[in-house]
A = this chain, B = another copy of it.
Amino acid sequence: MQPQSGPIAILAGSGRFPELLADTLRGAGRACRILAFRGFADSTLRRRADAAVDLLDVKRVLACLREWAPSAVTLAGGVHRPKPSAVLNAFSILRNRRELAELMGRGDDQLLRGVVELLEEQGHSVVGARDLAPELLASPGRQGAHEPTADDLRAVQLGMRLLTDISAYDIGQGVVVADERVVAIEGPEGTDRMLARVRGLRRSWSLSPAPRAGVLVKMPKKGQDLRIDLPAVGPRTFVRAAKAGLRGVAVASGVTLVLDREETVRTADRLGLFLLGVDGLGVGVGGDGA
């Protein structure tokens, strides 16, 4: 079922990552097939996709994979908690309704692990972006024109320590730290909404115009399966971070996706923010044995 010569099957959720991954693979001369999840995948991607399937239509997903006989399967983009419409449209023959409901009650990490397990049970090899396109991951060190200060670096360290300490709770790959103060911990609402919250907090506290303060820190949860759900930053992250009055963004290098690197660095530079890849010390290694 997994000839080495088969294509890479991309199970594509939301965001720009699935398309970037497909472009990167094709640019490297590797065949790929895209299965777009309805309600998640961008419309541009859906037009390119070889199939569009409801997220919970496990039967169709597996039928596609059987037909494509891929050498490996990868999950790309947001395939988080299904929306009501997705749940209503779908039904699984391989997991019953109760099992699905249980899975949905857990953290995103647990949910995605369930999907990986199911694919592996069916004989597929599941790989991550780190295996397929490491060039999409954050490099170590400063990426753009702006340098973090010693204060910024202390805030980054505090954030990484906190994220490590809470990683057992399956919540959040992101945190905002300003000076010695943790201002927000990311929950299932995601980075964008967390940054909006920080923006609101600053507005209610600060002198206007307040000097910039604070950093966004993103890293995977310790022990998380690094084939799935890697933290990601992109141009939009920097636009939101600037609006929240932050000074920069630090990400765990090698285990954080940078969506459209050039445009991301250009945006960071333009807005005066730093982008720092920090060695993901203490970052757990997932099921891909890397």
Contacts and interface: CB of A to CB of B under 8 A. Distances in A.
What number of copies of this chain does the assembly contain? Answer: 2
A207 interface: yes
A110 B178 CA distance: 14
A180 B104 CA distance: 10
Contacts of A166: 162, 165-166, 185
B201 A182 contact: no
B171 A185 contact: yes
A105 B181 contact: yes
A187 interface: yes
A206 interface: yes
A185 B172 CA distance: 10
Interface residues of A, number: 40
A207 B88 contact: yes
A3 B123 CA distance: 80
Interface string A150-183: 0000000010001001100111100000111111
26 contacts: A81-B205, A82-B205, A83-B204, A83-B205, A84-B205, A84-B206, A87-B207, A104-B205, A105-B178, A105-B181, A105-B213, A107-B180, A107-B182, A110-B180, A158-B169, A165-B165, A165-B169, A166-B166, A169-B182, A170-B182, A171-B183, A172-B185, A183-B187, A184-B189, A187-B201, A189-B197
Nearest to A178: B105
Contacts of A201: 187-189
Given A166-B165, A201-B189, A180 B105 contact: yes
A84 B201 CA distance: 12
Contacts of A181: 105-107, 170-171
A114 interface: no
A200 interface: yes
A169 B162 contact: yes
A208 interface: yes
Contacts of A205: 81-84, 104
Nearest to A197: B189
Interface in A65-113: 81-84, 87-88, 104-107, 110
A80 to B, nearest CB: 9
Contacts of A187: 182-185, 197, 201
